[in-house]
Amino acid sequence: MLYQRYIVNLALLVCTAFILSAHVPANAQSKPESLSIKTGVSGGGFYVIGAGLSKIFSDNGVRSNPELGGGNANIISLSRNEDSIGLAQAVAFTMAARGEPPFPSKIKNLSAIAVLFSNVVQVVVSKESNIKHLCVSEIR
């Protein structure tokens, strides 16, 4: 089941990248010569996705490179115009737009252009912790 979801999400990623690289509206600027894609740590999920995007862009005439990065740092890098595209979790993007910590002020010059996959998070504890539920009163 997870593998099937991965394949479907990967297919959506490929379609999104193709549309972004191949479709240029009449009133848009011409294709960029190159793009830098801020990803995550080498070997991580964001890096793999960024490398795939980079290949699709390159195959369509736009030189691109996946660059190591990570979540909040990607958002800051993009806001400073140091990179072209960045991968980030939706919650970090929302926090940046609102100026919530760890972002010192609202970041207003970014746009979300695609949702690539849903992010399932597992909350894990050691068996010795005796935590049985995610409840603040139990953790205290």
Cis peptide before 102 (omega within 30 of 0): yes
> How many independent structural domains does the chain possess?
1
Which of 18-32, 77-91, 112-126 is predicted least confidently? Answer: 18-32
Which pLDDT score, from 0 to 100, does residue 54 have?
Answer: 92
Which pLDDT score, from 0 to 100, does residue 91 have?
Answer: 87
**Domain limits for position 82:** 2-139
Assign residue 26 the CATH number of its domain.
3.40.190
As a three-state string, the secondary structure of 49-83 is HHHHHHHHHHHCCCEEEEECCCHHHHHHHHHCCCC
pLDDT above 50 for 23: no
Closest CA to 100 of 117, 80, 75, 119: 75
Mean pLDDT of 45-74: 91
